Amino acid sequence: MAETKKTPKAKSTAKTVCSTDFKNPPKTILKLEGINAGYDKRRLVLFDINAEIKENMLTVIMGPNGAGKSTLLKVMYGLLKPREGEITLFDYRINPTPQALTEKGVFMIPQGKRVFRNMTILENLELATHFWKDRSKFEEKMERVIEHFPDLKARLNDLAGNLSGGQQQMVAIARVLINDPKLVLLDEPSIGLSPKLIQDTFRKIKDIKDKTGTGFVIVEHNLKSLLPLTDHAYILDQGRVVYDGPAESKALDTMMKSIFEKK
């Protein structure tokens, strides 16, 4: 992944609906400017996307079905190359690839299959070391990470396929945390979970974020009830950012009613 120091660029004209004031603003991990992207030459899915993902923040990306949420996550993780625009990581312009981003501390947990069902929890966690040059610190890191998940601690030798959906999600998150990530991208982690498990999952992610400083980006459809647990929100509609601001505000409430009630 070639890196070049970002050159000065004209200030973006994209409007921010509202913003949060910080005495000590968190540093930007990932920044997207003017991103246009799609799956073929004729049809774009994302239009002029501007977004900043900051350290130690839980950011949620919401929108109706087909809004481009998962596509945006794929662009962030280098699974889809944008047609136009610029991506920077820690202020360096990059052409992201999953492998290169992983080496820089950015990880993604995709939709659907969260674990290898026929492997034990411990074996699932050990997969985190497949690209490590030195695996001698795995046990130390595993012990530290598993403290976040007391329900899993006594079940390390159980098959992951015997766990509940919420517990499997915790295994997937634990597997990533062993790598000391700076940023974790999650694509609809609530799929297949009950409302209570969704709430528990978000609370656990917030707790981990608060204790470790890891940033999280979560793509979801409409999680208004969970917004108080998050720090920043983006709403996409028809491939465009229509809200960029705090996760709790009158402007966000108004935008959510406008977007979701018309669908």
Per-residue pLDDT at 221 exceeds 90: no
What is the mean predicted confidence (pLDDT) over 99-124? 91
Q: Which residues, other chains included, contact 132 with Cβ-Cβ below 8 Å and sequence gap of 6+?
A: 138
What is the mean predicted confidence (pLDDT) over 120-125? 96
Per-residue pLDDT at 114 exceeds 70: yes
What pLDDT, on a 0 to 100 scale, did the predictor assign at position 223?
72
Q: How far apart are CA 40 and CA 70, in angstroms?
A: 16
- Identify the band that residue 21 occupies on the pLDDT scale cut at 50, 70 and 90: very low
What pLDDT, on a 0 to 100 scale, did the predictor assign at position 226?
78
Three-state secondary-structure class, residue 208: helix
What pLDDT, on a 0 to 100 scale, did the predictor assign at position 263?
54
Residue predicted with more confidence, 112 or 126: 126
Side-chain-facing half-sphere of 66: CA atoms under 13 Å: 4
- In what helix (H) or strand (E) does residue 38 lie, and over which residues does it extend? strand 28-38
Of the candidate ranges 20-29, 109-118, 220-229, the one whose mean pLDDT is the lowest: 20-29
Q: How far apart are CA 242 and CA 259, in angstroms?
A: 9
Q: How far apart are CA 112 and CA 205, in angstroms?
A: 18
Q: 108 forms bridges with which residues in the sheet?
A: 185
- Identify the band that residue 156 occupies on the pLDDT scale cut at 50, 70 and 90: very high
Average pLDDT, rounded, for the chain: 87
Parallel, antiparallel, or unpaired: how do β-strands 84-89 and 92-94 relate?
antiparallel
- Identify the band that residue 191 occupies on the pLDDT scale cut at 50, 70 and 90: confident
